[in-house]
Structure 1
């Protein structure tokens, strides 16, 4: 069932979104060559503690996962697309890093992701990230009453395809609110004018994921969580939680 949020509920979700934005900013500032991924997870945990928030990710176990997620961030480096589990590995010069993070305040969730490089960036990685960000911005513009889910999917997919990037099938955005993952699912590729109409109060997590190699296929790592590009190419993932309102899109995780 698709749940529409009241203005008061959107305010509550904005509070969770502010924690998400603060944590992602803190993690990005801490990320540098030689820093362990587990250290970045600790940075995010400290933001949660300081804001009186709970993690949306810790111990989360969707149907596909063999075990509960053991961290508060997803840290996906280079050929990892999403769902990377932070470990003791250290960031290397030129790494492309995607950090996904969710926070829960008073039962309301916020979810967002950023991608960035550490050290000396490969220009191709910079373009990949900028293209994902452009796709996110284009998709957000579609979150107005009367548009369709397909308009969002088309906005993401058309930009990714024009750049020659791959888009992982079966993974995309989702509704968000009292649960981190709610109906509806939001594909990252599709035809405009199709699907459910967008109505005020609908909140969606929009999350473009692009593979530089152009192959849509992915593989799941031994941990049952991490998604890798099959060709070893790098991937970028960006995300915001956004509400449809009569006045236009309202980004809750800005």
Structure 2
């Protein structure tokens, strides 16, 4: 069952989403060769708690950490360890926070130092696909319009769109209906309505769309072990249009990059 939110609830969700956004900014300042994911995980937990919120992932489904941290060929659900980051790595940082009874859920894939041009292109195209999907989140459109836009863009560049993992509704629980595939047919699926809030999160592989599940019970990797990228925003339909509740501005500020160079304009 889809739970539609009032404008007052959406503002509470914006607060949770922005805590996650600021947490990603805190982490972004420290991502460099030699830093361990566990160090970044502790930074994130401390910051979230300092904001009067609770880490959204810690303990959920028995997950042991605040951040999902997925390096290189890991698609999602990697957990932080003590292996230092290396020059040329990529790392997806996925974070959740709970405040005022509502969750925020937000992810960004970082380059560690300088990465190969083909890896940089994967990150760029995946980020572009996120915003193209968001543009389809308008009252009267259909659910699969979102995945259709993501799929068309990613596959045009020769990438694999992960099928096994999807975005989702979000609210008082982290994972609500509906599921939001990153592929689909235009004009198919449930009609989008005012008050819908989704976590839209394209997971795009450099090679095959297939994935493999490691024996640790969490880590999911690309089937051919090529790089994967993952970006995520929380988005609500407000006055019929997409309203992005989270932001990457804190990440870009931490990295010393002009945020406007990375945005696709959206009408609030």
Shift of 1:247: 4.9
1:177 maps to which of 171, 180, 203? 171
* Secondary structure in structure 1 of the residue aligned to 2:161: coil
The equivalent of 2:253 in structure 1 is none
Within the alignment, does 1:188 sit opposite 2:182 as a pair?
Answer: yes
Give distance in 2, aligned partners of 1:109 and 1:245.
18
Shift of 1:170: 2.2
Give distance in 1, aligned partners of 2:127 and 2:209.
19
Give distance in 1, aligned partners of 2:26 and 2:65.
16
Give distance in 1, aligned partners of 2:164 and 2:221.
14
The equivalent of 1:231 in structure 2 is 224
Cα pair 1:79 1:234 within 8 Å, conserved: yes
Cα pair 1:199 1:245 within 8 Å, conserved: no
Shift of 1:143: 1.0
The equivalent of 1:119 in structure 2 is 113
The equivalent of 2:238 in structure 1 is 245
2:144 maps to which of 144, 147, 150? 150
Give distance in 1, aligned partners of 2:163 and 2:240.
32
Identify unmatched segments of 5+ residues in structure 1: 62-67
| Count of aligned pairs between the two proteins | 247
Aligned ranges 1:1-254 → 2 under 5 Å: 1-61=1-61, 68-213=62-207, 215-254=208-247
Cα pair 1:13 1:110 within 8 Å, conserved: yes
Deviations 1:41-85 (A, max 9, x none): 011112112101011101111xxxxxx100010000000000000
Q: What TM-score do the two structures reach when normalised by structure 1?
A: 0.96
Deviations 1:135-186 (A, max 9, x none): 0000111111000101001011111111111122221110000000000000
Q: What TM-score do the two structures reach when normalised by structure 2?
A: 0.91
- List structure 1 runs of 4+ shifted beyond 2 angstroms: none
Give distance in 1, aligned partners of 2:240 and 2:164.
31
